[in-house]
Chains A and B, each alone.
Chain A
Amino acid sequence: MTLLGRLTWQAIPFHEPLPLFSGLGVLITVVAILAWVVAKGYVPYLWREWITSVDHKRIGVMYCILASVMLLRGFIDAIMMRTQQVMAYDAPGFLPPSHFDQVFSAHGTIMIFFVAMPFVIGLMNLVVPLQLGVRDVAFPTLNSVSFWLTAAGALLVNLSLVIGEFDRMGWLPYPPLSELRYSPGVGVDYYCWSLQISGVGTLMTGINFVTTILKLRAPGMHYTRMPMFCWTALASNLLIVAAFPVLTATLAMLLLDRYVGFHFFTDTAGGNSMMFMNLIWAWGHPEVYILALPAFGIYSEVVSTFSCKPLFGYRSMIYATMAICIISFMVWLHHFFTMGAGADVNSIFGIASMIIAVPTGVKIFNWLFTMYGGYVRFRTPMLWSIGFIVTFAIGGLTGVLLAVPPADFQLHNSLFLVAHFHNVIIGAVIFGAFAGYTYWFPKAFGFVLDERLGKWAFWLWLIGFWVAWGPGYVLGLEGMTRRLQHYDVAEWHPWLVVAEGGVVIILLGIIAQIAQIVVSVRTREQRRDVTGDPWDGRNLEWATASPPPAFNFAVLPDVTDQEPYWDMKARAREIGQLTRPEPRYEPIHMPRNSPTGFVTAFLAVVTGFALIWHIWWLVLLGLAGAYATFVVFAWRDHDEELIPAEEVARIDRANRAARSAALQHRQLRRETQRESAE
Chain B
Amino acid sequence: MLLLGQLAGCGRAQLQPAGPISAAERKILLDSIVIMLAIVIPTIIATLGVAWWFRSSNPRARRQPDFVYSGRVELIVWSIPALVIIFLGGIAWIGSHDLDPAQPLPAKAAPLDIQVVSLDWKWLFIYPKLGIASVNRLVVPAGVPLHLVLTSASVWNVFWVPQLGSMLYCMSGMAGTLYLEADHPGVYRGESAMISGDGFADMHFDTEAVRRSQFDAWVASTRSAGPALDDAAYRELLHQSVPPHPYTYRAVRPGLFADIVMLKLPPGDGPRGGVANVQPVGLR
- What is the interface of chain A, defined by CB distance below 8 A to chain B? 97-98, 101, 168-170, 174, 176-177, 181-184, 267-268, 273-274, 307-314, 316, 336, 338-340, 342-344, 346-347, 350-351, 354-355, 357-358, 360-362, 364-369, 371-378, 386, 389-390, 393-394, 396-397, 400-401, 403-407, 409-414, 474, 477-479, 481-489, 491
Smallest CB gap from A490: residue in B: B12
Whether A401 lies near B32 (C-beta < 8 A) is yes
- A-B interface, 10 closest residue pairs, ranked by CB to CB distance from nearest: A479-B13, A373-B64, A361-B81, A479-B162, A365-B77, A347-B96, A409-B166, A182-B270, A375-B56, A406-B95
Complex Cα gap A362–B84 (Å): 13
Whether A412 lies near B69 (C-beta < 8 A) is no
Partner of B54, one of A343, A351, A371: A371
- What is the interface of chain B, defined by CB distance below 8 A to chain A? 3, 7, 10-15, 22, 24-26, 28-29, 32-33, 36-37, 40, 43-44, 46-48, 50-52, 54-56, 61-65, 67-70, 73-74, 76-78, 80-82, 84-85, 88-89, 91-93, 95-103, 154-156, 158, 160, 162-163, 165-169, 171-174, 176-177, 189, 191-201, 204, 263, 266-267, 269-272
Whether A361 lies near B166 (C-beta < 8 A) is no
CB distance from A266 to the nearest CB of B (A): 9
Given contacts A182-B270, A358-B85, A478-B13, contact A403 B54 (CB under 8 A): no
Whether B65 lies near A487 (C-beta < 8 A) is no
Whether B96 lies near A346 (C-beta < 8 A) is yes
Greatest chain B CB density within 10 A among A176, A316, A407 is at: A407
A351 contact set on B, CB distance < 8 A:
85, 89, 92-93
Complex Cα gap A630–B77 (Å): 51
Whether B172 lies near A176 (C-beta < 8 A) is yes
Complex Cα gap A407–B43 (Å): 24
Given contacts A343-B100, A373-B65, A410-B25, contact A177 B77 (CB under 8 A): no
A491 contact set on B, CB distance < 8 A:
10-12
Greatest chain B CB density within 10 A among A312, A376, A474 is at: A376
Given contacts A366-B77, A386-B51, A404-B92, contact A355 B100 (CB under 8 A): no
CB distance from B179 to the nearest CB of A (A): 12
B64 contact set on A, CB distance < 8 A:
372-374
Whether B63 lies near A481 (C-beta < 8 A) is no
Given contacts A336-B169, A343-B100, A483-B200, contact A361 B80 (CB under 8 A): yes
Whether A479 lies near B93 (C-beta < 8 A) is no
Q: 20 additional contacts, CB 8 Å, given A400-B36, A477-B13?
A: A101-B195, A183-B270, A316-B77, A347-B93, A354-B89, A357-B81, A357-B84, A357-B85, A364-B47, A371-B47, A371-B51, A373-B67, A377-B56, A390-B44, A401-B33, A409-B165, A474-B3, A478-B7, A479-B162, A491-B10
Complex Cα gap A377–B58 (Å): 11
Complex Cα gap A362–B81 (Å): 7
CB distance from A394 to the nearest CB of B (A): 7
Given contacts A312-B69, A354-B85, A394-B40, contact A97 B32 (CB under 8 A): no
B167 contact set on A, CB distance < 8 A:
338, 409-410, 412-413
A-B contact pairs, 23 of them (CB 8 A): A101-B200, A169-B197, A267-B263, A273-B156, A273-B171, A274-B171, A313-B68, A338-B167, A338-B168, A340-B169, A340-B176, A354-B89, A357-B81, A369-B73, A373-B62, A389-B44, A404-B28, A407-B25, A407-B28, A410-B29, A413-B158, A414-B193, A474-B3
Given contacts A375-B56, A386-B51, A406-B95, contact A393 B40 (CB under 8 A): yes
CB distance from A302 to the nearest CB of B (A): 12
CB distance from A392 to the nearest CB of B (A): 10
Partner of A97, one of B40, B193, B199, B263: B199
CB distance from B199 to the nearest CB of A (A): 7
Complex Cα gap A307–B22 (Å): 47
Complex Cα gap A307–B47 (Å): 13
Whether A386 lies near B24 (C-beta < 8 A) is no
CB distance from B97 to the nearest CB of A (A): 4
B166 contact set on A, CB distance < 8 A:
338, 406, 409-410
CB distance from A486 to the nearest CB of B (A): 5
Given contacts A313-B69, A338-B158, A371-B54, contact A479 B12 (CB under 8 A): yes
A182 contact set on B, CB distance < 8 A:
154-155, 197, 270-271
A181 contact set on B, CB distance < 8 A:
269-270, 272
Complex Cα gap A479–B93 (Å): 25
Partner of A308, one of B15, B40, B44, B65: B65
Whether A184 lies near B272 (C-beta < 8 A) is yes
Complex Cα gap A343–B97 (Å): 5
CB distance from B186 to the nearest CB of A (A): 14
Given contacts A101-B198, A372-B64, A414-B193, contact A339 B69 (CB under 8 A): no
Whether B270 lies near A316 (C-beta < 8 A) is no
Complex Cα gap A489–B82 (Å): 41
Complex Cα gap A403–B85 (Å): 11
A361 contact set on B, CB distance < 8 A:
77, 80-81, 84
Partner of B195, one of A169, A342, A409: A169
Greatest chain A CB density within 10 A among B162, B168, B204, B263 is at: B162
A267 contact set on B, CB distance < 8 A:
171-173, 263, 267
CB distance from B223 to the nearest CB of A (A): 31
Smallest CB gap from A413: residue in B: B193
Smallest CB gap from B199: residue in A: A97
Complex Cα gap A571–B105 (Å): 73
CB distance from B156 to the nearest CB of A (A): 6
Given contacts A346-B96, A347-B92, A362-B81, contact A477 B11 (CB under 8 A): yes
Whether B201 lies near A485 (C-beta < 8 A) is yes
Smallest CB gap from B191: residue in A: A481
Complex Cα gap A60–B62 (Å): 40
B88 contact set on A, CB distance < 8 A:
354, 400, 404
A350 contact set on B, CB distance < 8 A:
89, 92-93, 96
A479 contact set on B, CB distance < 8 A:
12-14, 160, 162-163, 189, 191
Complex Cα gap A621–B176 (Å): 49
Complex Cα gap A559–B83 (Å): 39
B80 contact set on A, CB distance < 8 A:
361, 365
Partner of B47, one of A170, A389, A407: A389
Whether B56 lies near A97 (C-beta < 8 A) is no
Whether A487 lies near B56 (C-beta < 8 A) is no
CB distance from B219 to the nearest CB of A (A): 28
Partner of B63, one of A373, A397, A405: A373
A347 contact set on B, CB distance < 8 A:
92-93, 95-97
Whether B56 lies near A478 (C-beta < 8 A) is no
B22 contact set on A, CB distance < 8 A:
410
CB distance from B283 to the nearest CB of A (A): 21
Given contacts A97-B198, A184-B271, A474-B7, contact A376 B96 (CB under 8 A): no
A362 contact set on B, CB distance < 8 A:
77-78, 81
Given contacts A477-B15, A484-B201, contact A313 B92 (CB under 8 A): no
Complex Cα gap A345–B214 (Å): 40
B28 contact set on A, CB distance < 8 A:
404, 406-407
Complex Cα gap A78–B172 (Å): 32
Partner of B43, one of A311, A366, A393: A393
Whether B54 lies near A374 (C-beta < 8 A) is yes
CB distance from B118 to the nearest CB of A (A): 12
Smallest CB gap from B175: residue in A: A340
Partner of B82, one of A274, A358, A407: A358
CB distance from A346 to the nearest CB of B (A): 5
Smallest CB gap from A274: residue in B: B171
A486 contact set on B, CB distance < 8 A:
201
Whether A368 lies near B46 (C-beta < 8 A) is yes
Complex Cα gap A251–B267 (Å): 23
Complex Cα gap A452–B169 (Å): 50
A314 contact set on B, CB distance < 8 A:
68-69
A390 contact set on B, CB distance < 8 A:
44, 47-48
Smallest CB gap from B267: residue in A: A267
Whether B68 lies near A310 (C-beta < 8 A) is yes
Whether B193 lies near A409 (C-beta < 8 A) is no
A414 contact set on B, CB distance < 8 A:
193
